[in-house]
Amino acid sequence: MTPEQLRGYLAFYRDLGVAEIYRHQPPSNEIMTELPPLAPTGDTLAKIREDIGDCRRCGLCAQRNKIVFGSGNEHARLVFVGEGPGADEDAQGLPFVGRAGQLLTQMIDNTASKEGIPIRREDVYICNVVKCRPPENRTPLPEEMEICGQFLFRQLMALQPKAICALGSTAAKALLNTKDGVTRLRGHWHKWRDIPVMVTYHPSYLLRPYNQNAKREAWDDLKKALHLVYD
């Protein structure tokens, strides 16, 4: 195992909330660094959805109607990660289908078309940090993000996109393990594992009428992501 691989494994376990890992020292005094795989071998979106099942692993199960796993192209080169389902998503079991979702669709379709990139929303993959709707659309709690985040990480590892677009501060926190806000993070490339991450505003923030500047900035961020992936 290379130091780089080992670093990747340890970062993954840290993200899952595992603070300590013990090394097994065999009698020969050779130190073993064999760790369990980051994700089940041959992991697929279908397998991850099966593992989620009728999930009761965190408190968000109590009031949800439907688990919102994710949707889009399973071979997508670009993945959008939002915060969690809202009322429309909870009712339909699909991500970004309410007003914010319609705006996201417009942003993807219109920006790609203006930039001469032949993709539409159905060509990308969209999912959230938590798969069940937080009551009153509150921000997910750190423990909810930590527990459900393991499924997001498995989705991203199974998809292996060329880039990820983090929508809003919850997605940025989950992927980049940072306390910085979107204003500071947006517009620049970051990394989750070795995958480039562009942070931008959540579409529901852009729906507020006084956020015209943020809208322009979000369009710029999206342009950067589209060109990195599809040029």
Stretch that binds ligand SF4, among 15-23, 25-33, 100-108, 127-135 (CB under 6 A): 127-135
Among residues 226, 217, 218, which one has the least CA distance to residue 113? 226
Return the residues of window 167-226 that contact ligand SF4 according to CB under 6 A: none
- Whether the Cβ atoms of residue 175 and residue 164 lie closer than 8 Å to each other: yes
Torsion of Cα atoms, 200 then 16 then 36 then 38, to 10°: -10
Q: Which residue among 81, 147, 164, 214 contacts ligand SF4 (CB under 6 A)?
A: 147
Q: Of these, 35, 39, 52, 117, which contacts ligand SF4 (CB under 6 A)?
A: 52
Quote the least distance from Cβ 224 to ligand SF4, whole Å: 30
The answer to the question of residue 141 lying near ligand SF4 (CB under 6 A) is no
152 binds ligand SF4 (CB under 6 A): no
Residue among 147, 217, 223 nearest 182 (CA): 217
The region of 40-48, 58-66, 88-96, 189-197 touching ligand SF4 under the rule CB under 6 A is 58-66
- Verify binding: residue 130, ligand SF4, rule CB under 6 A: yes
User: Closest approach of Cβ 207 to ligand SF4, in Å?
Assistant: 24
Cα dihedral value 12, 14, 18, 19, nearest 10: 150
**Count of other CB atoms within 10 angstroms of residue 54:** 6
